[in-house]
Chains A and B, each alone.
Chain A
Amino acid sequence: MTDLRPIGLLAELTHRCPLGCPYCSNPLDLVRAGQELDTKTWTRVFAEAAELGALHVHLSGGEPLVRKDIAELVNAAHLAGLYTNLITSAVGLTAQSLTELRAAGLEHVQISIQGVDTARADAVAHHKGAAKAKREAAKLVVEEGLALTVNAVIHRGNIADVAAIIDLAEGWGAGRLEVAHVQYHGWAIANRASLMPAREDFLAAAKIVEDARKRLEGTLVIDHVIPDYYAERPKACMGGWGRQVIVVAPDGRALPCHAAATLPGLAFDNVREKPLGEIWTNSEAFQKFRGTEWMPKPCQGCERAEIDWGGCRCQAFALTGNPATTDPVCALSPDHQKMREMATADAASTNGTYRFRRIGG
């Protein structure tokens, strides 16, 4: 049992996407179109999330715009009382679709970019014309009077462009910019040696971001997601396991975090079979790492136990093979040194080829 209330629902409407970003956080084993939840089920899930106390819904994917019922889904979430956020690559976002989405109750659009140089950005997106489509879509979003966030995932291939990325977001009229270093889940793990930046380059980029933050205060909100592998303390992944966010995968599995499906030995309930509230409160998966009782040393009794909740379970598993151990990002973890050495080796790698994300890949 729990008194906790989720504040957000991350609705992964589909895993289909026209792009192929090598750092995509979707799992390697992508859900196929035929397994996706239908409009009616999503509509019920939105209502159940709002009833549970969720305030925001993040309509994400894959690329949510490939859903033919996207306007209907936005409207269902809006009518449920949720703040609607569309997380999109913007490929396929036209003036007409945007007007429809706005009428349906869309409040905020987050557009991801791969960089500032068109050719290089398109190469990372694995989609010719992506950069141009994003530029045009961003303009439409601002003209529609909708809030725009630009999301830039940072890695070795674009870390030198951070200043230019900030200028670009400001020039586009975004209200918010996410400078988000790659989080190593899903496809990003498979591409780690090609993505990992050097520590000095991260530090230089971080300084640029912090300076810009001050300079642009009141104009552009900048959220900075620093790379775990160069940190000393982990992040509270998803605000803590089963504390703030529910992820619903395209096939209806309810997950405490979008990478949770990679963890061994965890059974996930499906919203097709059970109401969201019951899953949140009682399911084995949501209870497994909720709170502090499951924690091993050094987390047990640590003063940060209820701040970072021991870090990310999926990262602990990816790096050590044990999901119930302290996140190696923490300098107090016995695995920290090994992780650092791995990051340094990856950063020094001359591997420049990517394994692009694709269904069946």
Chain B
Amino acid sequence: MSAADAKPRLAPGVKLRDDAQGSKLLGPERILELDEIARAIVAQFDGQKRVSDIAAALAKEYDAKAADIQVDIEHLLKDLTAKGYVKS
């Protein structure tokens, strides 16, 4: 499966949380702060949407090139997968 076809989802026990201090992923014994872009991407990780669909949707919303956003998503996906926050 190519990275563009992956359908990422949060790993079991991982939650996205927004509060006055910002957005973060909460997992077992761990916390990861997310910036606005990372939050927007992670919020789309529902196990249904493909990376390419997410890139297209966010490109529209942020008026950016889908190809650029896809690079960002793949980068984040790789990092969050290695850290155990995301599965695909």
Which of B28, B81, B83 meets A149, CB within 8 Å?
B28
Interface positions of B from 1 to 37, Cβ below 8 Å from A: 11-15, 17, 21, 24, 26-29, 31
Decide if B29 touches A218 in the complex (CB within 8 Å): no
Interface residues on chain B, size class: 10 to 19
Interface positions of B from 66 to 88, Cβ below 8 Å from A: 81-84
Interface positions of A from 71 to 98, Cβ below 8 Å from B: 83, 85
Given the contacts A85-B28, A217-B82, A147 and B11 also touching, CB distance less than 8 Å = yes
Chain A residue nearest to B78 in the complex (CB): A218
- How many Å from the CB of A85 to the closest CB on chain B? 6
Decide if A55 touches B83 in the complex (CB within 8 Å): no
Given the contacts A147-B12, A175-B12, A83 and B26 also touching, CB distance less than 8 Å = yes
CA A148 – CA B13 in complex, angstroms?
A: 8
Decide if A175 touches B84 in the complex (CB within 8 Å): yes
Decide if B28 touches A108 in the complex (CB within 8 Å): yes
- How many Å from the CB of B30 to the closest CB on chain A? 8
B82 / chain A contacts, CB cutoff of 8 Å: 217-218
A148 / chain B contacts, CB cutoff of 8 Å: 12
A145 / chain B contacts, CB cutoff of 8 Å: 12
Chain B residue nearest to A82 in the complex (CB): B26
Given the contacts A55-B17, A107-B13, A175-B13, A218 and B84 also touching, CB distance less than 8 Å = yes
Which of B17, B21, B26, B28 meets A175, CB within 8 Å?
B28
Decide if B31 touches A7 in the complex (CB within 8 Å): yes
B83 / chain A contacts, CB cutoff of 8 Å: 221
Decide if B13 touches A147 in the complex (CB within 8 Å): yes
CA A145 – CA B47 in complex, angstroms?
A: 14
Chain B residue nearest to A223 in the complex (CB): B29
Decide if A147 touches B31 in the complex (CB within 8 Å): no
B31 / chain A contacts, CB cutoff of 8 Å: 7, 55-56
A110 CB–B CB distance under 8 Å: yes
A233 CB–B CB distance under 8 Å: no
CA A148 – CA B26 in complex, angstroms?
A: 14
CA A146 – CA B27 in complex, angstroms?
A: 12
- How many Å from the CB of B15 to the closest CB on chain A? 6
Given the contacts A146-B12, A175-B11, A56 and B84 also touching, CB distance less than 8 Å = no
- How many Å from the CB of B43 to the closest CB on chain A? 18
Given the contacts A218-B81, A218-B82, A56 and B29 also touching, CB distance less than 8 Å = yes
CA A108 – CA B27 in complex, angstroms?
A: 8
A340 / chain B contacts, CB cutoff of 8 Å: none
A103-125 Cβ-contact flags toward B at 8 Å (1 or 0): 00001101000000000000000
Chain A interface residues (CB < 8 Å from chain B): 7, 53, 55-56, 83, 85, 107-108, 110, 145-149, 175-176, 217-218, 220-221, 223
Chain B interface residues (CB < 8 Å from chain A): 11-15, 17, 21, 24, 26-29, 31, 81-84
